[in-house]
Amino acid sequence: MSNILIIKHGSLGDIAQASGAIQDIYQNHPNDQIHILTTQPYVQLFEKNPMIHNVLLDKRSSRLNLIYLYHLTKNIKKFSFIKIFDLQNSSRSIFYKNIFFPKANYQVWSSSSTTLPKNTDKNEFDKKPVLDRFDHQLKTSGLKTLNTLKPDFSWACEDITEIKKKFNLKKYIILFPFCSEHLTIKKWPFFNDLIKLISDKFNDQYQILTAPGPTEIKEANNFNAKPILIDNKALNISQLASLIKDSSFVVANDTGPAHMAAHLGVKGLTLFGKHTSAYKVSIERENFKAIQVADLYNLSAEKVFEQLIVNIN
C-alpha cells in the first residue's frame, strides 16, 4: 500500500468540479491511501468524502514564512508520497512542487504544467474547458478516466430532514443572487423581477428560497424570497448541497452554489456576463444550463423566466 496526495485548496465551485477527478484517482489506486491537502473551509467537507482517507490542512501562510514551510514540507515528506495530483494548478501549488519535489516529472507530480501537450502554449491550453484539462492531465498520468468529465458532488450531502420540517419545504426554487464583493461583475441585478414572475405564474406551487452564505445574510433581506438559515447562521456546505439537490430548480450567478447545482444533477440556470464563459468553466450539464450575455444588465427577467419555464418541466 502506497500514499497518494491530491492538492485541492478550493474554491467551493472548483471542489465540486474536481469531484470526478478525485473519484478517478481513487478508483485507479484501489490499494493505496488517498490523502488531500486543502484549506480550513474544506477540511470537514473532505472528511466526509469516502474516497479520501486522510485530510491535511494547509494554512496557506506566507511563502516567506520559512518556519511554516519547513513544518509543511516535513509533514508532506513523512508520508513518502509516490504520486501527487495537483488539481489546484495554481501559482502556489507550483511553488510547492519546487520545494517538495523540485526534480519530479509528470510520473510523480501530475499537474497541468507537467502534463502539458507537446508544442502547446500553457495560456492557450488554459482556455480549454476545465474538465477537459483535468481529463487530459489524468490520462497523461496513466489513469483511466470514467468520472472526470461528469463530476458527482452528491458525496457532500447530508440528511436535512429537520431543516425541511422547520421550513415546511416540499417543492421549492432556490435563487443565488449573491457573489463575492470583489466580483460584482458577476451579479445579475433583476432577481426580484424574476421572483415576481415566478410568483405570478406558479402562485404557491413553489416556495422561493435563498440560501445565503455567512457574509450574505444581510443582503438576503433585499430579496422577496425566504432565506434558509439555522439559528440565524448560514447552512454548512453539506446542508447546502442537500438543499440544492432536493430543489425543483436553481437560478444563480456564476458562484460556488451554481457549480454545486450543476454537479448535483439538478435542473437550473446560471447567468454569465463577460467575466468568463460557461464553456471554459464546464458548468453546463444535462439538466443545468447557462445563459451567456455580454452585459448582465441587458439580460431581462423575462428572458431568464422563459428559460426557467422551458427547463423546469
Cα separation, 297 vs 19, in Å, equals 33
Give me the pLDDT at residue 308, please. Answer: 97
Residues 6+ apart with CB under 8 A from 121: none
- Percent pLDDT > 90 in the chain is 90
Do 9 and 89 have their domain in common?
Answer: yes
Backbone angles phi, psi at 121, to 5 degrees: -80, 135
pLDDT tens-digit map of 113-137: 999 998 888 888 988 999 999 999 9
Helices (H), the chain: 12-17, 19-28, 43-47, 66-77, 91-100, 122-125, 130-140, 161-167, 191-202, 217-220, 237-245, 256-262, 301-312
Q: Which of residues 133, 154, 175 is at a domain's end?
A: 154
Do 28 and 137 lie in one domain? The reply is yes
DSSP 81-128: -SEEEESS-SHHHHHHHHHH-TT--TTTEE-TTTTPPTT--HHHHTTS
Which CATH number characterizes residue 14's domain?
Answer: 3.40.50.2000
Domain carrying residue 205: 160-312
**Domain ends where: 124, 154, 184?**
154
- Both 172 and 106 in a single domain? no
DSSP 235: P
Identify which of 38, 106, 49 has the alpha carbon closest to the alpha carbon of residue 72: 38
pLDDT above 90: residue 109: yes
* 219 and 175 both lie in a single domain: yes
For the segment 252-264, the average pLDDT, to the nearest whole number, is 97
Total of domains in the chain: 2
What is the mean pLDDT of the segment spanning 255-277?
95
Judge if the upstream peptide bond of residue 11 is cis by omega within 30 degrees of 0: yes
Q: Helix or strand or coil: residue 144?
A: coil
Same domain, yes or no: 104 and 205: no
User: Do residues 262 and 139 both lie within one domain?
Assistant: no
Q: Residue 312 region, left (φ>0) first, then alpha (ψ -120 to 50), else beta?
A: alpha
pTM for the complete prediction? 0.94
**Grid coordinates given for 105:** 516529472
- pLDDT band for 152, please (50, 70, 90 cuts): very high
Answer whether 55's CB lies under 8 Å from 35's CB: yes
Q: Decide which of 134, 154, 174 is a domain's last residue.
A: 154
**How many other β-carbons are positioned within 10 Å of the β-carbon of residue 159?**
10
Are residue 150 and residue 207 in the same domain, yes or no? no
Do 136 and 213 fall into the same domain? Answer: no
Please tell me whether residues 15 and 101 are part of one structural domain: yes
Tell me what the mean pLDDT of segment 76-93 comes to. Answer: 96
List, edge to edge, every strand of the sheet that includes 226-227: 226-227, 207-210, 172-176, 249-253, 268-272, 288-292
Same domain, yes or no: 116 and 142: yes
For residues 306 and 172, state if they share a domain. Answer: yes
Whether residue 42 is predicted with pLDDT greater than 80 in this model: the reply is yes
Angle at alpha carbon of residue 181, lines to 297 and 293, rounded to 5°: 25
Compute the distance between CA of residue 252 and CA of residue 242 in angstroms, rounded to an integer.
16
91 and 182 in a single domain? The answer is no
